Amino acid sequence: MLGLTPAEWDAVGLSLRVAGVATLVSLPFGILTGLALARGRFWGKSALDVVVHLPLVLPPVVTGYVLLILFGRRGPIGSFLEETFGIVLAFRWTGAALAAAVMGFPLMVRAIRLAIEAVDPRLEQAAGTLGAGRMATFLLVTLPLALPGVIAGAVLGFAKAMGEFGATITFVANIPGETRTLPTAVYTALQVPGGEASAIRLTIIAIVIAVGALVASEILARRARRRVAGL
Amino acid sequence: MTLEVVARHEVPGFTLDVAFSAGAGVTALFGRSGAGKSTLAGIVAGLVRPKAGRVVLDGEVLFDTVAGIAVPARRRRIGVVFQEGRLFPHMTVEQNLLFGRRFRSGSSGREGMAAITELLGIERLLDRRPRTLSGGEQQRVAIGRALLMDPRALILDEPLASIDVPRRAEILPYLDRLKREMRVPILYVSHAIEEIARLADTVVVLEAGRVVAAGPAADVIARHGLPSLSPSEEGVFLLATVDRTVAGQGTILRHAAGELTVPVVAAPPGTVLRVRIHARDVALAVGEPGRLSFRNRLPATVSGIAAGDGDAVTVALDVGGSPLLARITRDAVADLDIRAGSRVIALMKAVAVEGY
């Protein structure tokens, strides 16, 4: 189909894997951070807000470089991970997933935070009078009611992860089969004479995936909204 | 059950400073909006933390600023029915009803469910979602949800306020049954006299954050008359005992000031009724009024005339030791020369008087 070369299929598959892992792994953290920012009252909340939003405003190359400094094999976190768990992120697809997750995180948290803020706190209060603790209230009341926003956040994070370029190429370079994701593959194709055909094929794939993700999220969110609206 | 509450709470522009105790049955917190009723209910439920105070339920200290005790709402086992119901929109009625059960070890699944859904007339709604229910149905489900957590006490915070007036009458009978059939003590917050007259055993009257009257409903009604809070509804309650029912006339009640005739009430002789008398339905006569269609004539002493603007004034009367209000024009006051201490006859049409 579309006459993709094996290398191009590699890039598409890798991008889906990177974006999927980045979204799934960051989602629990995104929900916790969104909850903390929406309902928490603690010292350093503004600082957390700023840190979460940094990747949105920093040049992606800078974010990638910071990741390289921290998570590189000689970086403080990177060397710890390698020595303790044998996990290497630099110049691996897992590093690409980390970069994608970091870049998508602010968008994901923003959507989740707004959704949690929109949940009527009086319902949570009612759950409390019925004997529910904080955890039960969150899992049984707040989270189900915020679900459409959580889905939207996950899709935003996934889309951002699919398209991530600057931080990825800075942190994990552009290694065919390992870190050459769809955007870096398009970029690479455009660097060689006669690569336009490959770039166009990959671009079409990117559009298809993006539209597919949007449609899927809309279906999920509609279902969740209907449930939340109690219809 | 005994509930003791002492609380001082301050928010900008409002100070609550109250102390009251309540026994078994229905205790009504009565007062106009802003009097502090809901804040007080929130303090008992554990949803509002007062600046200073003490809440004791059946000997267990739930809150005490001196001793540093503050039991969180979820451990108080006090069921709360809020004005707006607050049902969980993403759950069915049944899931809502059973919500509190999840956190109560010991009470298994659906025990008592059938009895309570039958009591509240919601057994056919179990599969529905809250959004598809009428306001009255939602409130009945909310009451069921609170009851099914097996509460030590129930707080009903203006449960009828968000329901259209004609629909309220559909719920009151359920509240009556709730009161009669469930042992659970109830704290009933309301500014609606009809609800209180019908349900309360004990009444606590709040005004601007203070308790102005408290005690058994009969005493508070006799002494205080439960003056209505809105001018158009101005009026009081009298307590009177059913004597006999006469065909073509109505039910005759005995009161310290004399006999009262009201539309037929299905209650056995000896029953003490709460009789609602609107100020606008009371006329005054000086001397023997002669032949009139006013069936109720009680000798009264004027205890005061409320200052006010407009053409009408409210005259406060003493009928056999109970308060009574009459709304008459300034012109009538001048013409009859009514002043504090005047002896008058209070006239009321039998059909204008409602007995509960």
**Complex prediction ipTM:** 0.82
- Mean local confidence (pLDDT), B338-351: 86
- Mean local confidence (pLDDT), B173-197: 83
* Residue B120 and residue B246 in one domain: no
Residue numbers in A near B74 (CB within 8 A): 128-133
| Tokens found for residue A103 | 């870049």
Which residue intervals of B47-201 are DSSP H helices?
Answer: 93-98, 113-120, 135-147, 165-181, 193-199
Sequence length of chain A is: 231
Chain A interface includes B45 (CB < 8 A): yes
| Tokens found for residue A57 | 């405003």
Instruction: Provide the pLDDT for residue B179.
Output: 82
Instruction: Provide the pLDDT for residue B21.
Output: 87
* Residue B50 and residue B174 in one domain: yes
Residue-range definition of the domain harbouring residue B236: 231-355
Residue numbers in B near A144 (CB within 8 A): 90
- Mean local confidence (pLDDT), A87-100: 90
* Residue B313 and residue B330 in one domain: yes
* Residue B55 and residue B128 in one domain: yes
Are B77 and B146 within 8 A, CB to CB?
Answer: no
Q: How far apart are CA A119 and CA A146, in angstroms?
A: 7
Q: How far apart are CA B185 and CA B21, in angstroms?
A: 12
Choose the closest CB to B89 out of A129, A136, A229.
A229
Chain B interface includes A45 (CB < 8 A): no
Query: Which stretch of DSSP H or E encloses residue B43?
Result: helix B37-45
* Residue B192 and residue B240 in one domain: no
* Residue B174 and residue B260 in one domain: no
CATH T-level assignment (fold) for domain A6-229: MetI-like fold (1.10.3720)
Q: Do A125 and B129 touch (CB under 8 A)?
A: no
Say whether A54 sits in a helix, a strand or coil.
helix
Residue B122 belongs to domain with CATH number: 3.40.50.300
* Residue B146 and residue B271 in one domain: no
* Domain endpoint, select from B198, B224, B250: B224
| Residues B27-80 pLDDT 10s | 999 888 888 888 999 999 999 999 999 999 988 999 998 988 899 999 999 999
Choose the closest CB to B86 out of A122, A136, A230.
A122
Are B190 and B229 within 8 A, CB to CB?
Answer: no
* Residue B18 and residue B157 in one domain: yes
Are A4 and A15 within 8 A, CB to CB?
Answer: no
* Domain endpoint, select from B176, B196, B224: B224
Q: Do A129 and B90 touch (CB under 8 A)?
A: no
| Residues A49-85 pLDDT 10s | 999 999 999 999 999 999 999 998 888 998 898 888 8
Sequence length of chain B is: 356
- Mean local confidence (pLDDT), A121-140: 93
Tell me B186's DSSP state.
E
Is the sign of the CA dihedral B9, B12, B15, B21 positive or negative? negative
Sequence spans of domains, chain A: 6-229
Instruction: Provide the pLDDT for residue A154.
Output: 93
Min Cα–Cα distance to chain A from B261, Å: 46
Q: How far apart are CA A225 and CA A152, in angstroms?
A: 11
| Residues B25-35 pLDDT 10s | 899 998 888 88
Say whether B206 sits in a helix, a strand or coil.
strand
Closest chain B residue to A136, measured at CA: B103
Rounded to 10 degrees, the C-alpha dihedral B296/B301/B303/B309 comes to 50
Structural domain count of chain B: 2
* Residue B204 and residue B272 in one domain: no
Hey, of A129, A141, A142, A228, which one would you mutate to test binding to chain B, going by the most B CBs within 10 A of its CB? A129
* Residue B48 and residue B189 in one domain: yes
Q: Looking at the predicted structure, is the pLDDT value of residue A22 above 90?
A: yes
* Residue B266 and residue B197 in one domain: no
CB contact set of B270 (below 8 Å; sequence gap of 6+): B241, B242
Q: Looking at the predicted structure, is the pLDDT value of residue B88 above 80?
A: yes
* Residue B311 and residue B337 in one domain: yes
* Domain endpoint, select from B192, B209, B224: B224
Residue B251 belongs to domain with CATH number: 2.40.50.100
